[in-house]
Structure 1
Amino acid sequence: MSLNSAMYRSRVHLYLHLAPSIICEAQSSIDPASPSRSLSSTATETIRHQRPIYVAATKQHVGKTSVSLALVSHFTKRFGPENVGYMKAVGQQCLRVWEENEGDETSEEKGHYVTIDKDVKLIRDHFRLKHLKFADMSPVLIPRGYTKSYLDGEIDHQSQMADIRRAYLNIVRSTSEYDQMGVRSNNSITICEGTGHAGVGSVVGAGNARVAAELGADVVLVANGGLGKAYDELELNRSLCLQYGVNIAGVIINKVQPEKYDQTRNYLTKAIQSMWKGPNGEPAPPLLGVVPDRPYLGCPALADVESTFDSVLLSGSDHRYRHYDVGSNVQGRSIGMSMVTTDLAAFLRTLQRQHEGARTMFICHSTRDDVILGFLGEYRRRARRGMPFESALVICTGGDDGLDELGENSELAPEVCEMIMDAGPSGPPVLVAAGRSPAEAAKEIRTMTPKFNANDERRVSRATEHYEPYIDFDLLLDRTSSVTDIGRADGAIA
């Protein structure tokens, strides 16, 4: 049996298992003797069968989560939060959360801890999808050592895929509504977010394309802006979708330079329409959206810097989700990061010349006690005058640029550390980048890819507000659903 045939049979099996069981379950609660179930009428009703939407990408860091946020945001407003499901079938970055045992009268425990992918908590908390269980939203996690255990035969592939299917069915049941006659609502939808490109997870038999096929999902491919490179990456991922018999609902191009917006839309549409037609003349998938770049969404918050350096703010923790533009001075953007190499007087002049509300991330070495104390002093001077102070300071303890290790003197002096901590949570943001030189720290900050955080409400809201206007949701629904006329008798299934 060919791989495509096997995947097709898997998808058909899932459909046959899912739709009838859910509908029959709902019908079983209705009095079979009710006259409203008479099938004598020839009235019909059109219902929409919505397939799950699987958001995949051509590589890491191209905007899967941003697109998923936009989809969940739109559909919760369109259908209601209770009719929207979300899952990340295969996750990598994990955290522990508390799961309430709601509705489980057999359990004496109020809840239990579960380990989930971090994006699951972000989506569930932000959109208040309380009808979904954390465990169903994140059925498979791949922590360190998982791949070796899988290849050693300690993890069963069939059990792993069964966990994904079971979790998906639970989500569908949680988001499905029925009318009084037991007919399933047309207004439920499930968004599945992938991990990396279409092949990520293949080494453990759980690549994105394969999981999408198991769920009978239609894929939305997300790629970064450009022409040749974007199309090449899309083509590579499309081939894997074709291998598993997965339908591509459409393409979303992300982070497009505003001045190249029309060019990107026009030429990628031409490329896809001319080269992605089906073997029997089936139309190629459409561009569902072209999203212009917004630099703010790429600006790291202090929480991102903490994560990068595996550190915590010594002071200023109240400002953990304050964002800093650390990019180059292009398109009118100010330079938001500066390594301090001057004497104290010059550094203080720089601080005092900053306009109110200016945000600069300064970087210095731990041996520069004068700079550290000058930074704290300028904060206190402005605080006394009621003036805002939003700059941050990163203190590096690694070998200075071009020099050998500095030995014991590279550590931050305890007395200085105490003075920093005395500023408290509302003070100026200061953290330590252990083992890095100022140049190394600056490079890591400039090249990091900021990630969404469940507590960073501002970035999450800004992302959804930015993406939604550029995505054709009506076309997406048209591409991921089928319409069927069913016979009804006074509202009953024929």
Structure 2
Amino acid sequence: MAKRIFIAATGQNCGKTTMSVSLMHLARKKYGRVGFIKPIGPKIDYYNDFMVDMDALLMAKTYAMEEDIALMSPVALHKNFTKDYLEGRLTELDMSGCIVKAVEELDSKYDFLIIEGAGHGGVGSVVGLSNAKVAKLVDAPVVIVTESGIGKVIDAVHLNLALYEREKADVRAVIVNKLLANKRDSILDLLRKGVSWQGIDVIGGFNYSPILANPTLSHISKLLDLPLHGNPEERSRIIHHIQLGAASSQKVIDGLLESTLMIVTASRDELIVTISSLYHIPAYKAKIAGMVIAGHTPVAKITQQILDDSTIPYIRLERSTAEAFMILKEDVAKISAEDQEKLNWIKANAESDIDFEAIDALL
């Protein structure tokens, strides 16, 4: 029987998937065979026309586990799933049975099994399978991943604990992510005092890093559902800043920050040409990640030729620059299997930031 761990969270974007990637990397150093499952998949993608959860697909591709993909995502919630469920059109679907069967099959194949939840403890309640209920269903000890802070973390943990306790799920620890390096020890110490009476351990996760927080060019391409032109080897480049190319060309260039994605109107020929030309200069290439060329006006023929010859990554978007800017600024980047720079960072830093032995000892 495999040793199991259920990765929960106090909410979205706490670093739950990052933690799963880390634990897979670290557990493989100790256990011969390590598996993964996302029982309830609220965000779907496709693998060979098979609908699966995005995080399950990420883990399958990252760790060459594609043969298990059907087991790794037993319940994927398509766009109208909850509506169909509430209107009684899915009464014959045994979701609990699908999850238990998948876990049992993976249990027979692996020595260590990572089970990732979907958001806070109540997510999935609409179909009768909250994270807390699923954790109890698969009989896995729970660790709750949370963002950094003190009061808000303690409040969020206790709010989630109420549901896990009601479902009689076994919460063993809280893992705190996005810690400020200079406050890491003091924050963890205060949090231990805040939840110690519950008999729950507090374990440090990753320190805050813009590498994990910021999107890649590939992610932007998927977000806008548009092709990324230019050098394909730059798809995994991380964007640290998003700027509007609204000022004069000289002011825009003078204001470039590290790894900037520039949003520029299609009619700004001189700016497009200038940025494309500077992309070949190493000092500027470090600052220029690429462009989103917005607007309904066609790009001039000679400008388009210079743009293509430069191999600068760019996306052509037939919406206004203001709309493009708002879409990108409001987005929260999710890790995908194409984000090699992020994945390599996670694996390297997991070995120094994550105490796997402390986590493993609690299971």
8 Å Cα contact 1:265/1:290 also seen in 2: no
Structure 1: gaps spanning 5 or more residues: 1-18, 20-49, 99-112, 176-187, 277-283, 327-336, 398-409, 481-494
Q: Closer, same or farther in 2 for the Cα pair 1:158/1:360, shift >3 Å? A: closer
Q: Closer, same or farther in 2 for the Cα pair 1:169/1:360, shift >3 Å? A: same
8 Å Cα contact 2:273/2:303 also seen in 1: no
**TM-score, L = length of structure 1:** 0.68
- The residue that corresponds to 1:168 in the other structure is 103
**CA displacement, residues 361-381 of structure 1 (integer Å, 9 cap, x when unaligned):** 22222221221223233346x
Count residues with an aligned counterpart: 361
1:396 and 2:286 correspond? no
Q: Closer, same or farther in 2 for the Cα pair 1:173/1:271, shift >3 Å? A: same
SS in 2 for 1:52: strand
- The residue that corresponds to 1:459 in the other structure is 342
Report matched runs for 1:278-357 at 5 Å.
284-326=199-241, 337-347=242-252, 350=254
Give the distance between the partners of 2:138 and 2:14, measured in 1 at CA.
23
Q: Closer, same or farther in 2 for the Cα pair 1:430/1:218, shift >3 Å? A: same
AA partner of residue 213 (structure 1): K
SS in 2 for 1:338: strand
SS in 2 for 1:256: coil
Q: Closer, same or farther in 2 for the Cα pair 1:412/1:230, shift >3 Å? A: farther
Match of 1:476 among 356, 359, 363: 359
8 Å Cα contact 1:321/1:456 also seen in 2: yes
- The residue that corresponds to 2:152 in the other structure is 229
Q: Closer, same or farther in 2 for the Cα pair 1:417/1:213, shift >3 Å? A: farther
Q: Closer, same or farther in 2 for the Cα pair 1:429/1:169, shift >3 Å? A: same
**CA displacement, residues 150-192 of structure 1 (integer Å, 9 cap, x when unaligned):** 11222137611101111111101122xxxxxxxxxxxx11100
- The residue that corresponds to 1:53 in the other structure is 5
How far residue 420 of structure 1 moved from its aligned partner, in angstroms, is: 6.0
- The residue that corresponds to 1:436 in the other structure is 320
SS in 2 for 1:270: helix
How far residue 69 of structure 1 moved from its aligned partner, in angstroms, is: 0.9
How far residue 242 of structure 1 moved from its aligned partner, in angstroms, is: 0.5
Match of 1:76 among 6, 22, 28: 28
Give the distance between the partners of 2:243 and 2:335, measured in 1 at CA.
25
Match of 2:260 among 360, 371, 374: 360
Give the distance between the partners of 1:423 and 1:246, measured in 2 at CA.
58
Give the distance between the partners of 1:207 and 1:154, measured in 2 at CA.
20
1:150 and 2:85 correspond? yes
How far residue 294 of structure 1 moved from its aligned partner, in angstroms, is: 1.7
SS in 1 for 2:206: strand
- The residue that corresponds to 2:57 in the other structure is 121
- The residue that corresponds to 2:140 in the other structure is 217
Give the distance between the partners of 1:234 and 1:157, measured in 2 at CA.
35
Give the distance between the partners of 1:54 and 1:209, measured in 2 at CA.
10
Report matched runs for 1:175-254 at 5 Å.
175=110, 188-254=111-177
- The residue that corresponds to 2:305 in the other structure is 419
Structure with bigger RCO (C-alpha 8 Å, 6+ apart): 1
Decide which structure has the larger Cα Rg and report it. Answer: 1
How far residue 443 of structure 1 moved from its aligned partner, in angstroms, is: 4.1
- The residue that corresponds to 2:45 in the other structure is 95
**TM-score, L = length of structure 2:** 0.91
**CA displacement, residues 262-284 of structure 1 (integer Å, 9 cap, x when unaligned):** 2211110001013x1xxxxxxx0
8 Å Cα contact 1:66/1:467 also seen in 2: no
Q: Closer, same or farther in 2 for the Cα pair 1:344/1:221, shift >3 Å? A: closer
AA partner of residue 18 (structure 2): S
> Identity over aligned residues, as a percent?
26
- The residue that corresponds to 1:400 in the other structure is none
SS in 2 for 1:95: strand
8 Å Cα contact 2:39/2:116 also seen in 1: yes
Give the distance between the partners of 2:150 and 2:318, measured in 1 at CA.
41
SS in 1 for 2:97: helix
How far residue 114 of structure 1 moved from its aligned partner, in angstroms, is: 2.2
- The residue that corresponds to 1:182 in the other structure is none
How far residue 325 of structure 1 moved from its aligned partner, in angstroms, is: 1.1
Give the distance between the partners of 1:295 and 1:193, measured in 2 at CA.
24
Give the distance between the partners of 2:93 and 2:50, measured in 1 at CA.
22
Structure 2: gaps spanning 5 or more residues: none
